[in-house]
Amino acid sequence: MPALVAAEPALVTASYGRHYLVRPAQTGGELIAVSRGKRTDACVGDVVSIRRTGEGQAVIESISPRRNQILRSDQWRSKLLAANVDQVGVVLAGDPPFSEELLLRILCAASVAGVPVALIANKIDLGEAHAAIRARLDACRALGLPVFEIAARGSASRVRDTLRGWLERRTTLLVGQSGMGKSTLVNTLVPDADLRTQAISTALATGRHTTTFTRLFDLPEAVATDARLIDTPGFQTFGIAHLSASQLAHAMPEFAPLLGRCRFNDCTHRGEPGCAVRAATEAGNIDARRFQLYGRLVEETLSAPSRPRP
């Protein structure tokens, strides 16, 4: 009877359905791995225990406890984007105009996960379009969000210089709605990203070409020291059904000094009398647009029949 192959730790570096790429901690390189049974609960950034099953192949036996996890969800299911990240970068632009509601959804999900966020305002070379979103970027800055302004199609060295200090010694999850130029930015930061993506696509999709998967890149030392970038597919929706109304309120930094000051302890800050948050908004101390979007998200959360478990 053959000896049982010992389990070993590995990092999940790409995921597509039930197929993963994992990097063993001791030997390096990457293996194609599958999860046990029908489980699909591993994600990029996970530290896992694997057991090799053949040449270049392995099975994921278990997942180590996560420092954090970023996910999106609707009332039926949740989708893990990444785990064990140090920060999130949201790529947005003025052409096409970014969705402020989509941005707020991402900010709330990251806040509840305890992960800091920075905005990467791309396409600043499109002067008129960028000027159109400047006021909204300033509103985010006023809340303490870092905002980096770049032109990913412009000077690669300038983009790298702008982001280097923020990226160094961190694992960054890069997200953004479709059309914001995120893929161009990834190729600027990881010069061989397209070739590596094609190779990963072939490995994970067993011969079928796909680019709709999440993958981790080690950034070149010349770009940023000891830095990793997790790239996700672009999206047009970002469900946050896993968040409660209370979590949404606490994810709004401008609400923080006012929480607990409303007339009712269970105030949702929509139409209740004696609401300190609404009063502050009417007085011009809270951005009216963000308050409106917050109300929309709370209404969605409270009207949902149930919330999925992360």
> How confident is the model over 24-43, as pLDDT tens digits?
998 878 999 998 765 668 99
Mean pLDDT of 101-115: 97
pLDDT at residue 1, rounded to an integer: 38
Choice between 306 and 113, residue whose per-residue pLDDT is larger: 113
Reported confidence tier of residue 309, pLDDT bands at 50, 70, 90: very low
Report whether pLDDT(194) > 80. no
φ, ψ of residue 98 in degrees (nearest 5): -75, 155
Q: Poorest-confidence range of 61-75, 86-100, 170-184, 208-222? A: 208-222
Question: How far is it, in rounded angstroms, from Cα 13 to Cα 21?
Answer: 5
**Burial of residue 244, with CB atoms counted within 10 A of its CB: 0-12 exposed, 13-18 middle, 19 or more buried:** middle
Q: Quick one: CA dihedral 114, 65, 59, 7, positive or negative?
A: positive
Mean pLDDT of 100-125: 97
Two tokens, residue 70: 């970023």
**Which residues sit in the known binding site?**
122-125, 176-184, 262, 267, 269, 275
Mutual angle of helices 182-189 and 193-204, in 10-degree steps: 110
pLDDT tens sequence across 225-267: 999 999 998 888 999 999 999 999 999 999 999 999 999 999 9
Mean pLDDT of the chain: 90
**Which residues sit in the known binding site for Zn(2+)?**
262, 267, 269, 275
pLDDT tens sequence across 73-98: 987 888 899 999 999 999 999 999 99
Report the predicted TM-score, pTM, of the whole model to 2 decimal places.
0.91
**Which residues sit in the known binding site for GTP?**
122-125, 176-184
Two tokens, residue 84: 């064990």
Question: How far is it, in rounded angstroms, from Cα 117 to Cα 17?
Answer: 27
> CA angle, 282 as apex, 280 and 285 as ends, to 5°?
45
Please identify which residue in the block is written with the tokens 């983009």: 159
Reported confidence tier of residue 4, pLDDT bands at 50, 70, 90: low
User: What are the chain's domains?
Assistant: 8-63 (2.40.50.140), 69-231 (3.40.50.300), 245-303 (1.10.40.50)
pLDDT at residue 308, rounded to an integer: 47
Mean pLDDT of 151-158: 94
Question: How far is it, in rounded angstroms, from Cα 226 to Cα 15?
Answer: 22
